[in-house]
């Protein structure tokens, strides 16, 4: 694939309710920030990709009226929607459209305004024959899979709580993050109410209103416009079966993430991810999922994820900081969450991470997670 | 056709399959899609193992499913493979599949779209695609928007309604035998009930159920060529473009389809078409209303030379979301049946008054 790079990123302030803005205004806020970061005028954008999960707001084709916020009128604009992976899939679509030579610059904007809809109702609109009655919504299906994972791997509640604390403390250094819980303790996580055993409230991600955007450019433009472009070294997608009952031991196996990571690492020349990556932004809707993803991404052998978090390997001062942004556990506007992962990874390579910057970051991983077991894996790299 | 330098290499059509259009297909969406995919694989003499990636098109609200592509993941062969879902007309899935191939990401991409109009009242669903602040509270849907556009066109053209009736009658006649609606005379069209003045019921392409699948390849392949056997298809995509116009009818010039013009300009540039009237032999537009065909022909700059919708276009049955992909399949079929070189312009649209527009240029060697 021809070289393409991310040259600018932008995000809104994320919160439980953004009553101060409409959906197009939310889109505009993120798009304007990304274009400003890339030093690009709207007229210089060739095409736009939007990611959003429309039924969470109970609508169809929201890009038709929200696209104006991304200056999409009179330009090629499409919407990508694949559940939680919508944002990462939209980024990968942009990589392909630029690498194909169709466009020089593509603006990707992900957004969600959960407060204007009913997310649980939207998530309940799954397969009507088998899954709707047993696995509707993230909470129920994760509770089932986490039980299996805990039993198989021996992960403790305390180790999961450590993930929750890491995420929320990291988020405190991120001015965009929704949840701001800088003093959260493991004890507080363990004292939070169980909402679907073994998941406690603080094990789960929030529902956020927000948007995120980034600019993808071809090689010549990227070199001209950006001091440290975040070059795309690998972008791999794997989908899996759509029925929860067909995904036995889902978190323990997570074969889509394992295979996508293996392919991406090979493409990017990564042998040992903990050694070769400088930072990772992974899509972890549940604390236990982050532990399972450590194993699937090869950060540790199977069964060692609990030890990895205890040893601080994935902390900000560890060998491989995971989710300096605070992750999905701190900010989750679903249509934007994947874009945020990629934007945060690129931000680290641009050296614009502020208080959450990983010093000297040169190679970053971003992942997307959607439906029950769909995965996107993206590796970005800045020039040495 | 004028010989010109081409900016990009082409993407080959390797095989196509389709179910419907049917007024009410009793099969589930996955069953319809599987039938279309298997037909495409057979047409291309390929198997599921040959597919590198899949691009699907579906709209969650139309299907009543969140992440509606999950209903078809297995039947399109996307388990443990890359899949992208476009929430727009199915022709856009083909455009994105072509992008993936041109990017060098994959060699063989399966493109699939489906729609099941019989599951719900389509006009009622489309109110939920309108701006919720200014337009949806007025009860506006895609059909009322089409009426507004037809009013704008007919305001100073007293022959317009008669012309649209004759066009609808002609398309219905061409679609007879393979469509979902019976033929009608122009008088019968003009006597049919008004659905959004001045648009009458028989001027609306009948909505239908169906699924469409197309295999795209980096290299020639498939057995659909007139030469037969495994010698490969000879049709390829040489250019494409898409566009999003303003949403509110009040923000647009309803007397033209500017978005088609912009999308065509991008496609013509990519494929090296300078004089579309000279280069194009076939137009396969996705016109859900008779008056849209006039808008399309004018915006495309194709003039009166090319053959237009020889099998009746969407008047054979307009499958929501899959409409544009059904036109791609129809154009491919038309080009395959010719013994000479040919060039076709294929069209898909989505949103109110064709807010979203996409076009593809197909070229077939002799």
- Structural domain span for residue A261: 133-204+233-381
User: DSSP string covering B27-49, please?
Assistant: S-HHHHHHHHHHHHHHHHT--GG
**Based on the domain organization, do B255 and B337 belong to the same domain?**
yes
Averages of pLDDT over runs of 10 residues in chain A (384 residues) are 96 97 97 98 98 92 96 98 96 98 97 94 82 79 94 97 98 98 98 96 97 98 97 98 89 97 98 98 98 98 98 98 98 98 98 98 97 95 82
**Based on the domain organization, do A112 and A184 belong to the same domain?**
no
Q: How far is B145 from chain A (nearest CA, A)?
A: 14
- Structural domain span for residue B353: 11-119+207-364
ipTM of the shown complex: 0.96
- The rounded Cα B145 to chain-centroid distance in angstroms is 20
Q: How far is A384 from chain B (nearest CA, A)?
A: 25
Query: At residue A340, what are phi and psi to the nearest 5 degrees?
Result: -60, -40
User: B86 lies in a domain?
Assistant: yes
Chain B residues whose beta carbon lies within 8 Å of the beta carbon of residue A54: 60-61, 87
User: A124 lies in a domain?
Assistant: no
**Span B254-284, pLDDT tens digits:** 999 999 999 999 999 999 999 999 999 999 9
Taking alpha carbons only, the member of A131, A101, A360 closest to residue A245 is: A131
- What pTM did the predictor assign? 0.97
Q: How confident is the model at residue B8 (pLDDT cuts 50, 70, 90)?
A: low
Decide if A95 and B7 are in contact by the 8 Å CB cutoff.
Answer: no
Q: How many residues does chain B have?
A: 366
Q: What is the pLDDT, as a whole number, of residue B220?
A: 82
**Based on the domain organization, do A176 and A144 belong to the same domain?**
yes
Chain A residues whose beta carbon lies within 8 Å of the beta carbon of residue B262: 74
Chain B residues whose beta carbon lies within 8 Å of the beta carbon of residue A76: 241-244, 263, 266
User: A290 lies in a domain?
Assistant: yes
Q: How far is B171 from chain A (nearest CA, A)?
A: 29
Q: How far is A186 from chain B (nearest CA, A)?
A: 35
Which helix or strand (DSSP H or E) is residue B178 part of?
A: none
Decide if B80 and A239 are in contact by the 8 Å CB cutoff.
Answer: yes
Indicate whether B225 pLDDT > 50. no
Decide if B241 and A76 are in contact by the 8 Å CB cutoff.
Answer: yes
Decide if A238 and B82 are in contact by the 8 Å CB cutoff.
Answer: yes
Q: How many CB pairs lie under 8 A apart between chains A and B?
A: 180
**Based on the domain organization, do B217 and B192 belong to the same domain?**
no
- The rounded Cα B231 to chain-centroid distance in angstroms is 27
Instruction: Find which of A55, A75, A106 to mutate to test the B interface (most B CBs within 10 Å of its CB).
Output: A55
**Based on the domain organization, do B195 and B231 belong to the same domain?**
no
**B82, B96, B244: residue with CB nearest A75:** B244
C-beta separation of A198 from A147 below 8 A: yes
Using a 10 angstrom Cβ sphere, with 0-12 exposed, 13-18 middle and 19 or more buried, the burial of residue A43 is: exposed
A332 cis-preceded (ω within 30 degrees of 0): no
User: B3 lies in a domain?
Assistant: no
Q: What is the pLDDT, as a whole number, of residue A137?
A: 79
User: B254 lies in a domain?
Assistant: yes
User: What is d(CA A50, CA A52) in angstroms, rounded to the nearest whole number?
Assistant: 7
Chain A residues whose beta carbon lies within 8 Å of the beta carbon of residue B83: 82, 237, 239, 374
Chain A residues whose beta carbon lies within 8 Å of the beta carbon of residue B88: 61, 78-79
Question: How many CB atoms lie under 10 A from the CB of residue B229?
Answer: 8
Q: What is the pLDDT, as a whole number, of residue A249?
A: 92
User: What is d(CA B56, CA B72) in angstroms, rounded to the nearest whole number?
Assistant: 9
Indicate whether B231 pLDDT > 90. no
C-beta separation of B130 from B43 below 8 A: no
Question: How many CB atoms lie under 10 A from the CB of residue A245?
Answer: 11
Task: Calculate the alpha carbon distances from B58 to A138, A190, A256 in Å.
Answer: 22, 42, 23
**Span B134-169, pLDDT tens digits:** 999 999 999 999 999 999 999 999 999 999 999 999
pLDDT, mean over chain B: 93
Q: What is the pLDDT, as a whole number, of residue A126?
A: 82
Task: Calculate the alpha carbon distances from A232 to A287, A342, A377, B281 in Å.
Answer: 28, 10, 11, 41
Indicate whether B226 pLDDT > 50. no
Nearest Cα residue in chain B from A87 = B84
**Span B44-103, pLDDT tens digits:** 999 999 999 999 999 999 999 899 999 999 999 999 999 999 999 999 999 999 999 999
Decide if B99 and A96 are in contact by the 8 Å CB cutoff.
Answer: yes
C-beta separation of B36 from B212 below 8 A: yes
- Please report, for the domain that includes residue B336, its CATH number: 3.40.47.10
Indicate whether B233 pLDDT > 80. no
User: What is d(CA A137, CA A175) in angstroms, rounded to the nearest whole number?
Assistant: 29
Nearest Cα residue in chain B from A81 = B85
Indicate whether B211 pLDDT > 70. yes
Instruction: Find which of A19, A24, A70, A82 to mutate to test the B interface (most B CBs within 10 Å of its CB).
Output: A82
C-beta separation of A27 from A239 below 8 A: no
Decide if A82 and B74 are in contact by the 8 Å CB cutoff.
Answer: no
Q: What is the pLDDT, as a whole number, of residue A339?
A: 98
Q: What is the pLDDT, as a whole number, of residue B205?
A: 97
Q: What is the pLDDT, as a whole number, of residue B232?
A: 58
**Based on the domain organization, do B110 and B146 belong to the same domain?**
no
Chain B residues whose beta carbon lies within 8 Å of the beta carbon of residue A68: 246-247
Q: What is the pLDDT, as a whole number, of residue B5?
A: 38
Provide the Cα torsion A194, A200, A204, A207; round to 10°.
40
Instruction: Find which of A21, A102, A261 to mutate to test the B interface (most B CBs within 10 Å of its CB).
Output: A102
Q: How far is A354 from chain B (nearest CA, A)?
A: 34
**Based on the domain organization, do A163 and A95 belong to the same domain?**
no
**Based on the domain organization, do B22 and B91 belong to the same domain?**
yes
**Based on the domain organization, do B233 and B323 belong to the same domain?**
yes
Q: How confident is the model at residue B227 (pLDDT cuts 50, 70, 90)?
A: very low
Domain count, chain A: 2
Taking alpha carbons only, the member of B292, B300, B349, B357 closest to residue B326 is: B349
Question: Which residues are CB-neighbours of A35 under 8 A, at least 6 positions away?
Answer: A8, A10, A41, A42, A45, A107, A213, A215
User: A126 lies in a domain?
Assistant: no
- Please report, for the domain that includes residue A22, its CATH number: 3.40.47.10
Nearest Cα residue in chain B from A67 = B244
Domain count, chain B: 2
Chain A residues whose beta carbon lies within 8 Å of the beta carbon of residue B356: 64, 77
Chain B residues whose beta carbon lies within 8 Å of the beta carbon of residue A241: 73-74, 79
Q: How confident is the model at residue B2 (pLDDT cuts 50, 70, 90)?
A: very low
**Based on the domain organization, do A180 and A318 belong to the same domain?**
yes
**A82, A100, A241: residue with CB nearest B85:** A82
**Based on the domain organization, do A197 and A216 belong to the same domain?**
no
Chain A residues whose beta carbon lies within 8 Å of the beta carbon of residue B60: 53-55, 60, 81, 125
Chain B residues whose beta carbon lies within 8 Å of the beta carbon of residue A55: 60-61, 66
User: B66 lies in a domain?
Assistant: yes
User: What is d(CA A71, CA B58) in angstroms, rounded to the nearest whole number?
Assistant: 24
User: What is d(CA A146, CA A198) in angstroms, rounded to the nearest whole number?
Assistant: 7
**Based on the domain organization, do A266 and A371 belong to the same domain?**
yes
**Based on the domain organization, do B212 and B341 belong to the same domain?**
yes
- The rounded Cα B82 to chain-centroid distance in angstroms is 24
């Amino acid at each position: 694939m021809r070289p393409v790079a991310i040259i600018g990123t932008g995000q809104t302030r994320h919160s439980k309710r953004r009553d101060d803005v409409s959906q197009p205004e939310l889109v505009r806020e993120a798009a304007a920030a990304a274009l400003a970061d890339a030093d690009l005028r709207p007229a210089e954008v060739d095409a736009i990709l939007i990611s959003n999960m429309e039924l969470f707001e109970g609508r169809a084709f929201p890009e038709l009226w929200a696209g104006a916020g991304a200056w999409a009128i009179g330009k090629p604009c499409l919407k990508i929607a694949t559940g939680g992976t919508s944002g990462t899939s939209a980024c990968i679509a942009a990589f392909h459209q630029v690498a194909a030579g169709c466009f020089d610059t593509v603006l990707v904007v992900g957004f969600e305004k959960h407060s204007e809809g009913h997310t649980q109702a939207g998530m309940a609109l799954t397969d009507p024959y088998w899954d709707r009655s047993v696995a509707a919504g993230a909470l129920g299906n994760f509770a089932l899979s986490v039980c299996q994972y805990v039993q198989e791997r021996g992960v403790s509640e305390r180790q999961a709580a450590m993930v929750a604390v890491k995420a929320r403390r990291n988020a405190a250094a991120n001015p965009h993050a929704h949840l701001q819980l800088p003093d959260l303790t493991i004890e507080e996580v363990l004292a939070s109410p169980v909402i679907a055993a073994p998941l406690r409230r603080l094990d789960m991600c929030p529902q956020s209103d927000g948007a995120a955007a980034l600019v993808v450019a071809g090689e010549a433009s990227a070199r001209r416009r950006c001091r440290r472009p975040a070059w795309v070294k690998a972008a791999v997608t794997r989908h899996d079966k759509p029925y929860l009952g067909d995904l036995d031991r889902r978190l323990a196996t997570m074969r889509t993430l394992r295979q996508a990571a293996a392919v991406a690492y090979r493409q990017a020349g990564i042998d040992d991810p903990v050694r070769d990556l400088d930072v990772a932004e992974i899509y972890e809707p549940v604390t236990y999922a982050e532990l399972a993803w450590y194993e699937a991404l090869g950060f540790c052998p199977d069964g060692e994820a609990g030890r990895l978090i205890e040893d601080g390997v994935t902390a900000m001062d560890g060998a491989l900081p995971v989710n300096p942004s605070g992750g999905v556990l701190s900010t989750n506007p679903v249509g934007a969450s994947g874009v945020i992962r990629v934007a945060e990874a690129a931000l680290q390579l641009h050296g614009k991470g502020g208080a959450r910057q990983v010093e000297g970051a040169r190679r970053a991983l971003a992942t997307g997670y959607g439906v029950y077991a769909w995965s996107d894996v993206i590796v970005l790299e800045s020039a040495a | 056709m004028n010989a010109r330098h081409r900016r990009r290499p082409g993407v080959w059509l390797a095989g196509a399959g389709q179910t419907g259009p049917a007024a009410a297909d009793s099969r589930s969406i996955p069953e319809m899609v599987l039938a279309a995919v298997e037909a495409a694989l057979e047409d291309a003499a390929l198997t599921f193992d040959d597919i590198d990636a899949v691009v699907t098109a579906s709209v969650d609200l139309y299907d009543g499913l969140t992440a509606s592509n999950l209903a078809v993941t297995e039947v399109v062969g996307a388990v443990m493979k890359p899949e992208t879902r476009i929430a727009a007309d199915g022709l856009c899935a083909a455009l994105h599949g072509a992008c993936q191939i041109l990017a060098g990401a994959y060699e063989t991409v399966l493109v699939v779209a489906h729609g099941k109009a019989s599951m719900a009242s389509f006009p009622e669903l489309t109110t939920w695609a309108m701006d919720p602040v200014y337009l949806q509270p007025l009860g506006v849907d895609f059909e009322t928007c089409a009426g507004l556009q037809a009013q704008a066109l007919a305001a100073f053209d007293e022959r317009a309604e008669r012309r649209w009736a004759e066009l609808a009658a002609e398309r219905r006649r061409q679609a007879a035998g393979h469509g979902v609606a019976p033929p009608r005379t122009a008088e019968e069209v003009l006597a049919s009930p008004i659905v959004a003045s001045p648009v009458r019921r028989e001027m609306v392409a009948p909505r239908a159920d169906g699924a469409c699948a197309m295999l795209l390849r980096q290299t020639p392949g498939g057995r659909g060529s007139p030469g037969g056997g495994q010698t490969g298809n000879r049709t390829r995509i040489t250019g494409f473009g898409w566009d999003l116009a303003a949403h509110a009818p009040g923000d647009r010039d309803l007397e033209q389809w500017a978005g088609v013009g912009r999308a065509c300009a991008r496609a013509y540039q990519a494929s090296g078409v300078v004089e579309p009237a000279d280069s194009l032999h076939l137009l396969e537009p996705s016109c859900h209303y008779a008056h849209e065909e006039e808008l399309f022909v004018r915006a495309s700059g194709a003039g009166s030379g090319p053959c237009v919708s020889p099998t009746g276009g969407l008047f054979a049955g307009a499958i929501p979301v899959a409409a544009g992909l059904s036109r791609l399949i129809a154009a491919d079929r038309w080009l395959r049946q010719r013994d000479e070189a040919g060039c076709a312009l294929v069209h898909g649209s989505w949103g109110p008054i064709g807010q979203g527009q996409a076009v593809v240029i197909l070229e077939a060697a002799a």
